């Protein structure tokens, strides 16, 4: 997913439903000191844990918030990602429209979700998935292409 996100120096990258911020370090390295990584999650305890983990990374800002109602200006972000978040939100369409609002034209969104319907082995049922990150990212990109018809830059 990080490769697909193509974060560059100076970018503002949103990690929506960031949880503990597992990928903050990689995102911070990609935006460099001139960029910003903004993590948002609606679970205050997780936000505080993520803040504690990234206290030594000045480009990382972790905020409490809801993906249905992002308190961010229009077109403020170059990149956005959700990793295993959409399956939890009550109104994915509204959340997606908020992401569209805050992404700049030509910005990029990468979304990853497990494919619970595709068993890896017969009998594995909902426990396993064959969905690769690359496949998920491609699907997400094609979904979002309607949001950024000029392509990401
Ligand atoms: C499965 S965790 C994934 C966390 C993180 N993306 C990762 O890859 O480690 C889902 C996260 O989405 C957050 N979340 C769910 N619904 C949300 C919403 N409406 N607004 C903000 N965060 C939300 C949860 O609090 C949780 O931290």
- Ligand 1 within 6 A of CB of 22: yes
Answer whether 87 contacts ligand 1 (Cβ < 6 A): no
The reply to whether 61 falls in a domain is: yes
- Domain assignment present for 30: yes
C-alpha dist (Å) from residue 38 to 76, 81, 99: 11, 11, 13
Share of the chain above pLDDT 90, in %: 69
| Residue 123 belongs to some domain of the structure | no
Query: What's the chain's average pLDDT?
Result: 85
Mutate which of 13, 22, 42 for ligand 1? The one with the most ligand atoms within 8 Å of its CB, which is 42
Q: Is the CB of 96 under 6 A from ligand 1?
A: no
Res 105: pLDDT: 97
Give the model confidence (pLDDT) of 55-74 as tens digits: 999 999 999 999 999 999 99
Compare 139 and 47 and report the one with higher pLDDT: 47
User: Distance, CA 95 to ligand 1 centroid (Å)?
Assistant: 12
Q: Is residue 13 part of a domain?
A: yes
The yes-or-no verdict on residue 16 having pLDDT over 80 is yes
CATH number of 24's domain: 3.40.50.150
The reported pLDDT for the residue numbered 110 is: 96
Q: Is the dihedral of CA 47, 51, 57, 59 positive or negative?
A: positive
- The percent of residues in the chain predicted with pLDDT above 70, rounded, is 77
**DSSP 8-state secondary structure symbol assigned to residue 140:** H
Domain count of the chain?
Answer: 1
78: pLDDT strictly greater than 60: yes
Atom of ligand 1 nearest to the CA of 95: 19
Q: Is residue 153 part of a domain?
A: no
User: Residue 50 domain-assigned?
Assistant: yes
* pLDDT at residue 147 in the model: 46
Q: What is the mean predicted confidence (pLDDT) over 137-142?
A: 48
**Could you tell me if residue 75 is inside a domain?**
yes
Strand order in the sheet with 103-112: 60-64, 36-41, 12-16, 77-83, 103-112
CA 38 to ligand 1 centroid distance, Å? 14
Q: Within a domain: residue 98?
A: yes
Which structural domain range is residue 106 located in?
A: 2-113
Q: Which residue has better confidence, 2 or 27?
A: 27
Structure confidence by residue, pLDDT tens digits, 86-128: 989 999 999 999 999 999 999 999 999 887 777 665 555 444 4
Phi first, then psi: what are they for 63, rounded to 5°? -125, 155
Contact 21, 39 (CB under 8 A): yes
């Amino acid at each position: 997913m990080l490769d697909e996100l193509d974060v560059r120096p100076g970018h503002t990258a949103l990690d929506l439903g960031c949880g503990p911020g597992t990928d903050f370090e990689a995102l911070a390295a990609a935006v460099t000191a001139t960029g910003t990584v903004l993590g948002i999650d609606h679970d205050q305890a997780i936000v505080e844990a993520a803040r504690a983990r990234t206290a030594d990374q000045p480009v990382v800002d972790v905020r409490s918030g809801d993906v249905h109602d992002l308190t961010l200006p229009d077109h403020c972000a170059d990149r956005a990602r959700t990793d295993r978040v959409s399956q939890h939100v009550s109104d994915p369409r509204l959340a997606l429209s908020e992401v569209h609002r805050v992404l700049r034209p030509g910005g990029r969104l990468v979304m990853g979700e497990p494919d619970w319907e595709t068993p890896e082995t017969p009998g594995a049922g909902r426990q396993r998935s064959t969905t690769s990150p690359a496949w998920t990212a491609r699907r997400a990109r094609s979904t979002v292409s309607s949001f950024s018809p000029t392509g990401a830059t």
